[in-house]
């Protein structure tokens, strides 16, 4: 199982190499990344391949998430709410 802390170390290691003492910069990009992932999840999209190579910066130094080839779209209930991971994959069959 991949640890949440390991995930953030891998994602932000490139930023820490370029901006080792700039905590504000790291917090800025962490907040952007979290906001982007939260927005994707609110739309029922799971990226499933989030890594530094799939996070780009535009000309305004804002995060762009790319490579949705392995993304998963979660089905929605009739009221618009996401189903609980398709009823936990049909109770894990």
| Active-site residue list | 49
| DSSP codes of every residue in 2-51 | --HHHHHHHHHHHHHHHSTT-HHHHHHHHHHHHHHHHHHHHTTEE-S---
């Amino acid at each position: 199982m991949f640890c949440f802390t390991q995930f953030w170390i891998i994602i932000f290691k490139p930023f820490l190499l370029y901006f080792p003492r700039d905590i504000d910069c790291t917090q800025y990009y962490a907040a952007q990344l979290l906001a982007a992932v939260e927005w994707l999840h609110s739309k029922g999209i799971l990226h499933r391949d989030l890594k530094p190579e799939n996070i780009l910066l535009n000309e305004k130094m804002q995060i762009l998430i790319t490579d949705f080839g392995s993304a998963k779209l979660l089905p929605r209930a009739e009221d618009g709410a996401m189903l609980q991971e398709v009823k936990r994959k049909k109770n894990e069959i």
